[in-house]
């Protein structure tokens, strides 16, 4: 049965930018700092305190705008969003309402199809603007505790148009958005640290030219909850509409325990923020030169990188996806391939061994391209097994020892083994002269018989190709 | 020989450097005089005697080893209680902040300290600078030193009264709609509101950010020049402060005097007869004649949209104030009602704010509301721009504008308090400077039959305080008002 109701979903993404200090004051920000230590008169909202613009935030915001091909407004200002809440020290948040730093733009998303193929779609953006974050309230029994460490942190708000069709598209939208932001290094996008938060708005309609009543789900802090809440809400609204009911325009929150959307209190959802231009801050003008300088800093985008990886290096879709979203590993990959041309094996090692280890242990990559190239070349030439190569890599990453030392250590261990194998091969050759003659006369496959004999004599597994190679040398 | 406590800081500075008196002795004189007079005057909210004397001793020590920090090292100065001073009160005349102590210095305060000035105490004011009589202070009103039955004006009434009464030689106040100039006029002293952006607002409790200014109240024009020299200048902590070259104001005054500089001035034609008291008018006309006779050229000027200035001032200032005062919510550092377990924010504001503050917050909240924003706030901003543009046109033809500072002399206590609108009309001449940002100075030019001071206002070009002070100084030196003091 065809679905008569289409969903129109838009997402507002709040991203904490990794500026050294907060948006309007010089205080730094670090997640999980002791409570109320990242504060100053401005953060506390003390009388007489004034905002001072963090210009790095502006540069980063422009970078994001250029990344998503938005229109950068060369002149913009700041507006106060007024409301009362204990985690909002000044009783207003400095944001942008009447003139935002970027308008328009789009996020390209990659949707997987059933036959292992992909299609690309654009989700258009409404705008991108800067604002300051609010503090945190923790409710403990009868008390409400306030931590202002997060108050004033640089926040970038990216607002999409309601062009997302379902939970799955939402997932890929957020995934792509995150990968693009990581690519230009403006945020670590760590959801567990609250560096990205989402508000979702949904409306259903039979006709795309006439949108239905919009409902907003606020403060989602995981992609999983975004998906779940969208699915729940679409079902809820469909039921109402199919029964000829109507949707109330309301603000909801996601109840994580019961997995349902719940209306927020009336007061919270119908606030007039009384926006007006902040008289403490000047209008900012950005020059065309500044914009073009920032544009030069934008690296190759994830999807384009992925295309290169697939076309030029013949890598698989999965490996390419993973390699395309990490600038450093991508660079590492290319540099290693320049030295030794086995892209597929290099990529596999980088993704399956190096990347995994780095993520699990929160490390930085300390392997040099020339060393990785050396290791892979040795595997190719049969000097060491793949397993040994993996162990070498682990050792270099975790024990931070000199690469050459580790390689030599394993090589020598291997060489002893190789010596042993060589001896056994010699023995086998000497005790099977007739077979050797057969091989020499042209029946190359007979070598496999010798290989088998060698393997029998050995009491551990060795790559048959290595044995073959050694035998061929002898013969 | 004038009593020492009425001397200008220029004179005091000479006495200190010649070692005729120590800073400690001088400070003690003011403190003792305050102890005598304050019960009638109520110009100070707090006086920290030990702290002031300590600063004075440090100054004397520096002088003894010939390492003074400047011309004004050792001179006492008081600050209006809305300008941050580390570890001192910042009541802003309000119950909301009655127990609050600043944890940082305002930029201007730092500059005073860096020059070795002796901080003498915190002066009384209308609550959160909203008012024209200091009757809106939680700590009681300040009396006019010329006649205790009258108000000292406001909102910097404490500062003006303290200077006029000789219990501080100099004070810094704030001016959002005339709050330095109007009380200066009512108390017979000099009050200067400099150009917007010349003096950093960092550490000034915000009332209406685009209209707020810090400025000096003093006995003489040259005293204003001396202190302006100290506190003017760009501050990166205040994004509205401007990078301009600061001239040497005293040198400019002397140079213009020597060169017998002649200027052109305009006279404000704003419905004079209807609103200005006859006595006041006669002294203003005398001042105008003085300048004409001295060879300065006079023209009549009509300020376009002048009659719209008061309403747009109240729209814009209330709108900004309603937002600036939102931070006083009982959560972090303000007054907080006892035994409260719900509605913290609304109960705190209900109990912590006085009537006039509530009135302005309500008005401002209404104005910024989404249904009204365009019809009030945006319209008022547009008119403000028109007035600014008109001022630019006017000041192409003139160097100064002259007007009364206030249309009347000081009024009796409790006569305007129940009539907010009549209180608002105290500002009609002063608000132009706040709406446009142009500098304005008030200086005494006469006395009413009742012996109450009359002041006149001179408005100058932006960042041309050197010319403004020169022009004002010419009048002051030719008259003796700076030597006339209340009989206290």
Three-class DSSP category at B234: coil
| pLDDT for A461 | 63
Among B47, B37, B44, B46, residue whose Cα is nearest residue B148? B37
Beta strand pairing status for A154-160 and A6-16? antiparallel
On chain B, the residues whose CB falls within 8 A of the CB of A44 are 332-333
Task: Using alpha carbons, list the distances in angstroms from residue A21 to A25, A378, B239, B357, B431.
Answer: 7, 47, 17, 35, 38
- Is residue B94 part of the annotated active site? The answer reads no
- Spatial distance between the Cα atoms of B83 and B192, rounded to a whole number of angstroms: 16
Is B365 in contact with B320 (CB distance < 8 Å)? Answer: no
- Spatial distance between the Cα atoms of A341 and A111, rounded to a whole number of angstroms: 32
A52 touches chain B (CB under 8 A): yes
Neighbours of B86 (CB within 10 A): 15
User: Which residue matches tokens 């203003």?
Assistant: B284
For residue A47, what is the nearest residue in chain B, using CA coordinates?
A: B205
Vertex B261: Cα angle to B257 and B262 (nearest 5):
135
Please write the tens of the pLDDT for every residue from B349-362: 999 999 999 999 99
- Spatial distance between the Cα atoms of B294 and B474, rounded to a whole number of angstroms: 9
Q: Which two tokens stand for residue B104?
A: 């940082």
Angle, to 10 degrees, between the axis of helix B465-478 and the axis of helix B278-293? 100
A284 touches chain B (CB under 8 A): no
- Spatial distance between the Cα atoms of A312 and A315, rounded to a whole number of angstroms: 8
Asked whether the predicted pLDDT for residue A265 surpasses 80, the reply is no
Q: Do B103 and A41 touch (CB under 8 A)?
A: yes
Kindly report which listed range (A353-357, B211-215, B323-327) carries the lowest average pLDDT score.
A353-357
Query: Would you place residue A385 in the very low, low, confident or very high pLDDT band (cuts 50, 70, 90)?
Result: confident
Tell me the nearest-neighbour CA distance from A83 into chain B, angstroms.
Answer: 8
Is B186 in contact with B210 (CB distance < 8 Å)? Answer: no
Q: Say which of A44, A86, A272 has its CB closest to residue B370.
A: A272
**For B324-348, what is the mean pLDDT?**
94
Q: DSSP label at B303? A: -
Please write the tens of the pLDDT for every residue from B32-43: 999 999 999 999
For residue A94, what is the nearest residue in chain B, using CA coordinates?
A: B323
Selected residue of B102, B176, B329, B366 to mutate for chain A interface (largest A Cβ count, 10 A): B329
Q: Which two tokens stand for residue A300?
A: 């190759």
Task: Using alpha carbons, list the distances in angstroms from residue A212 to A170, A208, A217, B9, B425.
Answer: 19, 9, 16, 72, 52
Distant-in-sequence, close-in-space partners of A446: CB < 8 Å, separation ≥ 6? A435, A438, A439
- Spatial distance between the Cα atoms of A405 and A419, rounded to a whole number of angstroms: 20
| pLDDT for A463 | 67
- Spatial distance between the Cα atoms of B264 and B261, rounded to a whole number of angstroms: 10
- Spatial distance between the Cα atoms of B104 and B92, rounded to a whole number of angstroms: 16
Asked whether the predicted pLDDT for residue A26 surpasses 90, the reply is yes
For chain A, the distance separating the N- and C-terminal CA atoms, rounded to the nearest angstrom, is: 72
State ipTM. Answer: 0.95
For residue B368, what is the nearest residue in chain A, using CA coordinates?
A: A274
Neighbours of A475 (CB within 10 A): 14
Task: Using alpha carbons, list the distances in angstroms from residue B250 to B32, B224, B228, B247.
Answer: 32, 10, 10, 9
| pLDDT for A388 | 81
| pLDDT for B274 | 73
Please write the tens of the pLDDT for every residue from A107-135: 999 999 888 788 999 999 999 999 999 99
- To the nearest 10°, report the CA torsion of B317, B86, B101, B212: 0
Three-class DSSP category at B215: strand
For chain B, the distance separating the N- and C-terminal CA atoms, rounded to the nearest angstrom, is: 16
Phi, psi of B486 (to 5 degrees): -65, 155
Q: Do B331 and A44 touch (CB under 8 A)?
A: no
Phi, psi of A144 (to 5 degrees): -115, 125
Selected residue of A274, A277, A283 to mutate for chain B interface (largest B Cβ count, 10 A): A274
Query: Would you place residue A230 in the very low, low, confident or very high pLDDT band (cuts 50, 70, 90)?
Result: very high
- To the nearest 10°, report the CA torsion of B416, B418, B420, B424: 0
Three-class DSSP category at A440: helix
Is B180 in contact with B220 (CB distance < 8 Å)? Answer: no
Asked whether the predicted pLDDT for residue B282 surpasses 50, the reply is yes
Q: Tell me what the pLDDT averaged over chain B comes to.
A: 95
Query: Would you place residue A398 in the very low, low, confident or very high pLDDT band (cuts 50, 70, 90)?
Result: confident
3-state class percentages of chain B: helix first, strand second, coil last, to nearest 5: 45, 15, 40
Angle, to 10 degrees, between the axis of helix B9-17 and the axis of helix B23-41? 150
Q: Note every long-range contact of B474-477, with CB atoms under 8 Å and residues 24 or more positions apart, other chains counting.
A: B474/B257, B474/B291, B474/B294, B475/B287, B475/B290, B475/B291, B475/B443, B475/B445, B476/B190, B476/B220, B476/B221, B476/B443
- Spatial distance between the Cα atoms of B393 and B301, rounded to a whole number of angstroms: 11
Entry pTM: 0.89
Asked whether the predicted pLDDT for residue B241 surpasses 70, the reply is yes
DSSP A248-314: ---EEEEETTTTEEEEPPHHHHS-----EE-TTSPPEE--HHHHHHHHHT----HHHHHHHHHHHH-
Query: Would you place residue B271 in the very low, low, confident or very high pLDDT band (cuts 50, 70, 90)?
Result: low
Among B484, B488, B429, residue whose Cα is nearest residue B190? B484
Per-residue burial over A32-54, b = 16 or more CB atoms within 10 Å of its CB, e = otherwise: eeeebebbebbbbbbbbbbbbbb
Q: Which two tokens stand for residue A327?
A: 């600038």
Is A322 in contact with A351 (CB distance < 8 Å)? Answer: yes
Phi, psi of B174 (to 5 degrees): -130, 150
**For A305-315, what is the mean pLDDT?**
91
Asked whether the predicted pLDDT for residue B57 surpasses 50, the reply is yes
Is B228 in contact with B193 (CB distance < 8 Å)? Answer: no
A48 touches chain B (CB under 8 A): yes
Largest interatomic CA distance in chain B: 70
Preceding peptide of B448 cis, ω within 30°: no
Beta strand pairing status for A79-82 and A92-95? antiparallel
Please write the tens of the pLDDT for every residue from B430-472: 999 999 999 999 999 999 999 999 999 999 999 999 999 999 9
Kindly report which listed range (A7-16, A318-327, B4-13, B469-478) carries the lowest average pLDDT score.
A318-327
- Spatial distance between the Cα atoms of B455 and B479, rounded to a whole number of angstroms: 13
Per-residue burial over A80-93, b = 16 or more CB atoms within 10 Å of its CB, e = otherwise: bbbebbbbbbbbbb
Tell me the nearest-neighbour CA distance from B240 into chain A, angstroms.
Answer: 6
- Spatial distance between the Cα atoms of B274 and B287, rounded to a whole number of angstroms: 20
| pLDDT for A275 | 97
Is B202 in contact with B424 (CB distance < 8 Å)? Answer: no
Among A137, A139, A105, A110, residue whose Cα is nearest residue A124? A105
Q: Do B84 and A47 touch (CB under 8 A)?
A: yes
A197 touches chain B (CB under 8 A): no
Beta bridge partners of A140: A143
Is B456 in contact with B469 (CB distance < 8 Å)? Answer: no
**For A404-415, what is the mean pLDDT?**
74
Kindly report which listed range (A421-425, B238-242, B338-342, B468-472) carries the lowest average pLDDT score.
A421-425
On chain B, the residues whose CB falls within 8 A of the CB of A47 are 82, 84, 90, 92, 97, 100, 205-206, 327
| Helix locations, A343-446, DSSP H | 343-348, 356-361, 369-380, 386-399, 403-430, 433-440
| pLDDT for A1 | 46
Question: What percent of chain A is predicted at pLDDT more than 70?
Answer: 97
> Secondary structure of B259-291 in the HEC alphabet?
CCCCCEEEEECCCHHHHCCHHHHHHHHHHHHHH
Q: Say which of B104, B326, B377 has its CB closest to residue A91.
A: B326
Q: Do A52 and B236 touch (CB under 8 A)?
A: yes
Can you say whether the dihedral through the CA atoms of B99, B100, B105, B107 is positive or negative? Answer: negative
> Secondary structure of A66-100 in the HEC alphabet?
HHCCCEECCEECCEEEECCCCCCCCCEEEECCCCC
Three-class DSSP category at A465: helix
Among A460, A434, A462, A464, residue whose Cα is nearest residue A448? A464
Question: What percent of chain B is predicted at pLDDT more than 70?
Answer: 99
């Amino acid at each position: 049965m065809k679905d008569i109701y289409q969903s129109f979903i838009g997402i507002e993404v709040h991203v904490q930018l990794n500026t050294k200090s907060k948006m309007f004051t010089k205080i730094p920000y670090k997640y999980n700092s002791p409570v109320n230590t990242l504060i100053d008169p401005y953060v506390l909202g003390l009388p007489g305190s004034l905002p001072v613009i963090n210009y790095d935030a502006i540069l980063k915001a422009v970078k994001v705008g250029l990344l998503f091909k938005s229109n950068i407004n060369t002149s913009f200002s700041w507006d106060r969003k007024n409301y009362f809440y204990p985690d909002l020290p000044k009783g207003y948040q400095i944001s942008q309402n009447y003139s935002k730093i970027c308008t328009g733009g789009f996020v390209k998303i990659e949707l997987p199809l059933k036959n292992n193929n992909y299609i690309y779609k654009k989700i258009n953006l409404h705008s991108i603007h800067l604002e300051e974050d609010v503090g945190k309230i923790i409710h403990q029994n009868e008390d409400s505790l306030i931590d202002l460490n997060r108050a004033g942190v640089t926040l970038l708000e990216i607002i999409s148009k309601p062009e997302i069709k379902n939970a799955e598209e939402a997932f890929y939208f957020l995934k792509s958005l995150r990968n693009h932001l990581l690519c230009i290094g403006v945020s670590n996008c760590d959801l567990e640290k609250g560096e990205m938060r989402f508000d979702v708005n949904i409306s259903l309609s039979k006709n795309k030219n006439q949108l239905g009543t919009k409902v907003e789900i606020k403060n989602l802090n995981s992609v999983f909850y975004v998906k779940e809440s969208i699915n729940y809400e679409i079902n809820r609204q469909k039921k109402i509409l199919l029964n000829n009911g109507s949707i109330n325009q309301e603000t909801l929150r996601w109840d994580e325990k019961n997995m349902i959307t719940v209306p927020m209190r009336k007061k919270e959802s119908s606030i007039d923020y009384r926006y007006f231009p902040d008289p403490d801050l000047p209008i900012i003008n950005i020059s065309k030169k500044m914009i073009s300088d920032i544009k030069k800093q934008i690296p190759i985008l994830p999807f384009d990188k992925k295309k290169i990886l697939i076309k030029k290096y013949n890598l698989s879709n999965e490996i390419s996806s993973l390699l395309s979203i990490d600038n450093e590993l991508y660079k590492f990959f290319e540099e290693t391939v320049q030295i030794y041309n086995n892209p597929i094996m290099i990529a596999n090692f980088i993704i399956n061994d190096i990347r995994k280890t780095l993520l699990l242990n929160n490390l930085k990559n300390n392997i040099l391209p020339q060393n990785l190239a050396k290791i892979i070349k040795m595997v190719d030439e049969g000097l060491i097994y793949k397993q040994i190569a993996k162990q070498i890599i682990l050792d270099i990453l975790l024990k931070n020892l000199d690469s050459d030392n580790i390689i030599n250590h394993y090589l020598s261990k291997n060489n002893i083994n190789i010596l042993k194998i060589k001896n056994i091969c010699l023995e086998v050759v000497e005790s099977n002269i007739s077979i050797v003659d057969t091989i020499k006369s042209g029946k190359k496959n007979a070598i496999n018989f010798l290989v088998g004999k060698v393997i029998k004599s050995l009491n551990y597994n060795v790559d048959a190709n290595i044995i073959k190679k050694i035998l061929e040398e002898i013969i | 020989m004038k009593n020492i406590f009425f001397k200008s800081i220029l004179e005091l500075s000479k006495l200190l450097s010649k070692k005729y008196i120590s800073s400690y002795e001088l400070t003690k004189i003011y403190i003792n005089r305050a102890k005598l007079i304050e019960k009638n005057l109520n110009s100070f909210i707090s006086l920290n005697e030990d702290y002031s004397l300590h600063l004075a001793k440090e100054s004397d020590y520096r002088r003894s080893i010939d390492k003074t920090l400047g011309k004004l090292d050792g001179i006492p100065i008081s600050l209006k209680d809305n300008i941050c001073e580390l570890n001192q009160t910042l009541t802003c005349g309000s119950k909301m902040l009655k127990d609050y102590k600043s944890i940082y210095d305002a930029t201007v305060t730092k500059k005073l300290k860096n020059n070795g000035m002796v901080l003498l105490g915190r002066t009384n004011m209308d609550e959160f600078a909203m008012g024209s009589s200091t009757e809106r202070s939680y700590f009681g009103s300040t009396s006019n030193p010329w006649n205790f039955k009258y108000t000292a004006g406001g909102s910097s009434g404490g500062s003006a009264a303290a200077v006029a009464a000789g219990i501080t030689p100099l004070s810094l106040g704030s001016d959002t709609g005339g709050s330095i100039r109007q009380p200066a006029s009512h108390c017979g002293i000099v009050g200067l509101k400099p150009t917007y952006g010349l003096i950093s607002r960092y550490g000034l409790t915000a009332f209406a950010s685009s209209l707020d200014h810090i400025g000096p109240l003093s006995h003489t024009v040259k005293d204003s020049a001396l202190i302006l020299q100290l506190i003017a200048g760009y501050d990166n902590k205040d994004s509205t402060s401007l990078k301009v070259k600061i001239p040497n104001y005293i040198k400019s005054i002397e140079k213009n005097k020597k060169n017998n500089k002649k200027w052109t001035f305009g006279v404000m034609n704003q419905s004079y007869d209807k609103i200005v008291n006859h006595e006041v008018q006669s002294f203003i006309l005398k001042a105008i004649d003085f300048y004409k006779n001295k060879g300065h050229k006079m023209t009549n000027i009509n300020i376009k949209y002048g009659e719209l200035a008061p309403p747009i001032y109240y729209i814009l200032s209330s709108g900004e104030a309603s937002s600036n005062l939102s931070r006083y919510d009982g959560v972090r550092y303000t007054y907080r009602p006892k035994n409260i377990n719900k509605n913290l924010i609304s109960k705190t504001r209900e109990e912590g704010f006085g009537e006039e503050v509530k009135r302005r917050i309500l008005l401002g909240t209404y104005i910024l509301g989404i249904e009204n924003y365009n019809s009030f706030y945006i319209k008022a901003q547009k008119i403000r721009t028109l007035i600014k543009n008109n001022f630019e046109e006017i000041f192409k033809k003139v160097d100064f504008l002259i007007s009364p500072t206030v249309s009347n002399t000081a009024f009796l206590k409790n006569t305007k308090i129940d009539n907010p609108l009549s209180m608002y009309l105290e500002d009609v001449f002063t608000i132009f400077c706040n709406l446009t940002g142009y500098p304005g100075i008030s200086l005494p030019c006469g006395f009413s039959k009742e012996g109450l001071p009359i002041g006149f206002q001179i408005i100058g070009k932006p960042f041309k305080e050197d010319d403004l002070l020169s022009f004002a100084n010419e009048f002051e030196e030719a008259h003796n008002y700076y030597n006339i003091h209340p009989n206290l």
